[in-house]
């Protein structure tokens, strides 16, 4: 009787446990967990991850999360659209949780649910409803989706990475990537499939680009963007029949091009010598004895020495330049030009139709004069200076010593001359010769031309048919002598001014009545930025020193 009572009690207890204390059966389709509330659910994305915060629910063992690039909804075929499921292994038990392995700049639809897994179920009780796994309904974001931030595996493009037709790209080595799109505006102009070597190295040089053009580069892993970077190709180097990148031995480079031109049957030809940004190239040749000698520009060659993209390169005049023979033009552009002797000191017969110094900073050449013609057999027909700065040049003589030989025109614009020829003569010395044109426009002069000499000296009875000084600013002559310009005809002067430290009187140039400290930011240190608004409004001097308000 005792045993029979115990069995009856156990049976009753088991029945109660299986019916959950109810006198009716439970429909398992309604026997679900509570899901996290939509209001408690939020996602904070980065480029390749997203942090999910949610409200935990009672009796939940772990949570499952899904992301898709297509809409998620109840009853959807998961195998067709779900791209990643998180938490099936029971790992999501706390909030927040971080989704990983996402693609950058991508819209994802998201949903999550809770799951209950019974623990330590007594033998024989597995079929009881309380001992069955349960799940909540899916809960969705209020706005259904989130978007990851744009990923950036590209490194920044430096000046040294840019050329006129190429741009070098680099990114995280061994990253999962497939291709790079090259865009000009909205147009895809190249779609480059990346080789295994490029992927491993994390770099590629994009070629066949157009100079001075803005490009955007997008790197993908399939359809997922992994980085975006933009850059403008370098300005085009001057057109020429022959172009080469300087190897560092300029003399050998020029001789090689001259030999090629001769083999092509050309006696007059153009050359662009590109000096790589950030480098220094010596201008010199070697004598038969192996010592430094002047660099001879091969006859018939018109050459432009051009500074390539990146930090402005330096052309170092170890010796001077010999212009013997005939040359249509010799040009220096986008360079730092330095030296200690002469820029040109020509006695051998030679002719240059145009000598151009453009976008350069020129320093040194102060042992005597900057440019000197010594022989009647030498001709530099036209000298053009544009957008350049000259300092510490010339000593004991004129900057341009053109007394011998022949020169027809000198044009100087948008340039600065400071701390030069302080113990020498003036800007131009040409005793007893007439010029067709001398034009000086938008130039700043500071601490220049001393030794009791003229600013410009054509000699008595000579001058320039067209002689113009326009929008110029003169400050701190190197002496207090009032010699000005010796010319048969006075220049046409337009909107040009002097500070109180300029002693040389130039007819037509007006006095500001201001000293240098009131006009310039720090003139003695070479900073000629105009700080006086009244002077700046006159738009005088080199435009580089006029700061827009």
Domain ranges of the chain: 26-147, 159-232, 395-549
Homologous superfamily of the 159-232 domain (CATH): Immunoglobulins (2.60.40.10)
DSSP E strands: which ranges in 321-460? 321-322, 325-333, 336-339, 344-346, 350-358, 361-364, 371-373, 378-386, 389-391, 400-401, 409-420, 428-429, 435-448, 456-457
Residue 512 near residue 525 (C-beta atoms within 8 A): no
For the record, the structure tokens of 81 come out as 């659209």
Of 3.40.1390.10, 3.30.70.270, 2.60.40.10, 3.90.76.10, the CATH number of 26-147 is 2.60.40.10
Bridge partners of residue 473, in order along the sequence: 444, 497
* Residues 498, 500, 501: CA angle, nearest 5 degrees: 95
The pLDDT assigned to 12 comes to: 40
Q: What is the four-CA torsion angle of 241, 246, 251, 253, rounded to 10 degrees?
A: -50
Residue 162 near residue 309 (C-beta atoms within 8 A): yes
Distance of alpha carbon 420 from alpha carbon 370, whole angstroms:
10
The ranges of the chain with pLDDT < 70 are 1-32, 74-80, 126, 481-482, 549
pLDDT digits (tens, 9 = 90+) for 397-451: 889 999 999 999 999 999 999 998 887 778 999 988 899 999 999 999 999 887 7
The residues near 68 (Cβ < 8 Å, ≥ 6 apart) are 81, 82, 83, 108, 109
328 by Cβ neighbours in 10 Å (0-12 / 13-18 / 19+) ranks as middle
The pLDDT assigned to 482 comes to: 65
pTM: 0.71
Distance of alpha carbon 546 from alpha carbon 549, whole angstroms:
9
Residue 327 near residue 351 (C-beta atoms within 8 A): yes
The pLDDT assigned to 451 comes to: 73
Residue 277 near residue 311 (C-beta atoms within 8 A): yes
For the record, the structure tokens of 397 come out as 């003589």
143 by Cβ neighbours in 10 Å (0-12 / 13-18 / 19+) ranks as exposed
């Amino acid at each position: 009787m005792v045993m029979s009572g115990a069995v009856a009690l156990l049976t009753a207890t088991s029945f109660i446990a299986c019916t959950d204390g109810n006198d009716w059966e439970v429909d398992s389709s309604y026997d679900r967990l509570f899901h996290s509330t939509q209001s408690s659910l939020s996602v904070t994305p980065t480029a390749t991850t997203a942090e999910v915060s949610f409200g935990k629910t009672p009796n939940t063992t772990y949570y499952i999360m899904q992301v898709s690039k297509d809409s998620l909804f109840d009853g959807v075929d998961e195998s067709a659209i779900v791209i990643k499921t998180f938490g099936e292994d029971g790992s999501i038990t706390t909030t927040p949780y971080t989704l990983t392995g996402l693609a950058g700049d991508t819209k994802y639809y998201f949903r999550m649910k809770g799951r209950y897994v019974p623990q330590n179920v007594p033998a024989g009780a597995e079929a009881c409803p309380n001992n069955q796994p349960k799940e909540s309904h899916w809960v969705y974001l209020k706005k259904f989706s989130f978007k990851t931030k744009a990923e950036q595996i590209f490194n920044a493009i430096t000046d040294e990475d840019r050329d006129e037709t190429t741009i070098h790209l680099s990114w995280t080595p061994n990253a999962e990537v497939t291709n790079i799109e090259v865009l000009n505006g909205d147009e895809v102009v190249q779609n480059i499939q990346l080789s295994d070597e490029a992927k491993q190295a994390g770099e590629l040089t994009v070629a066949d680009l157009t100079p001075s053009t803005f490009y955007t580069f997008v790197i993908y892993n399939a359809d997922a963007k992994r980085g975006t970077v933009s850059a403008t190709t370098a300005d085009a180097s001057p057109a020429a029949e022959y172009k080469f990148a300087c190897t560092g031995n300029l003399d050998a480079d020029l001789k090689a091009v001259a030999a090629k031109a001769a083999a092509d049957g050309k006696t007059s030809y153009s050359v662009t010598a590109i000096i790589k940004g950030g480098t220094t190239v010596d201008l010199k040749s070697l004598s038969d004895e192996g010592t430094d000698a002047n660099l001879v520009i091969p006859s018939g060659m018109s050459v432009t020495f051009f500074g390539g993209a990146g930090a402005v390169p330096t052309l170092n005049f170890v010796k001077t330049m010999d212009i013997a023979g005939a040359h249509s033009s010799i040009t220096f552009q986008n360079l730092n030009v330095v030296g200690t002797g002469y820029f040109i000191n020509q006695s051998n017969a030679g002719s240059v139709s145009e000598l151009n110094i453009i976008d350069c900073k020129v320093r040194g050449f102060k042992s005597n004069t900057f440019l000197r013609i010594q022989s009647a057999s030498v001709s530099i027909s036209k000298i053009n200076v544009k957008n350049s700065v000259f300092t510490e040049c010339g000593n004991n003589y004129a900057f341009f010593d053109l007394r011998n030989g022949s020169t027809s025109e000198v044009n100087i614009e948008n340039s600065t001359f400071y701390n030069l020829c302080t113990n020498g003569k003036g800007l131009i010395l040409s005793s007893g010769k007439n010029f067709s044109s001398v034009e000086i426009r938008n130039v700043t002069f500071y601490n220049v031309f001393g030794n009791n000499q003229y600013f410009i000296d054509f000699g008595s009875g000579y001058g320039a048919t067209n002689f113009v000084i326009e929008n110029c600013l003169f400050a701190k002559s190197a002496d207090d002598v009032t010699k000005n310009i010796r010319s048969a005809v006075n220049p046409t002067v337009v909107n040009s001014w002097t500070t109180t430290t300029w002693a040389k009187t130039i007819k037509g140039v007006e006095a500001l009545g201001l000293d240098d400290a009131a006009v310039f930011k720090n003139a003695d240190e070479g900073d000629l930025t105009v700080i006086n608004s009244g002077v700046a409004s006159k738009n005088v001097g080199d435009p580089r020193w006029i700061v827009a308000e």
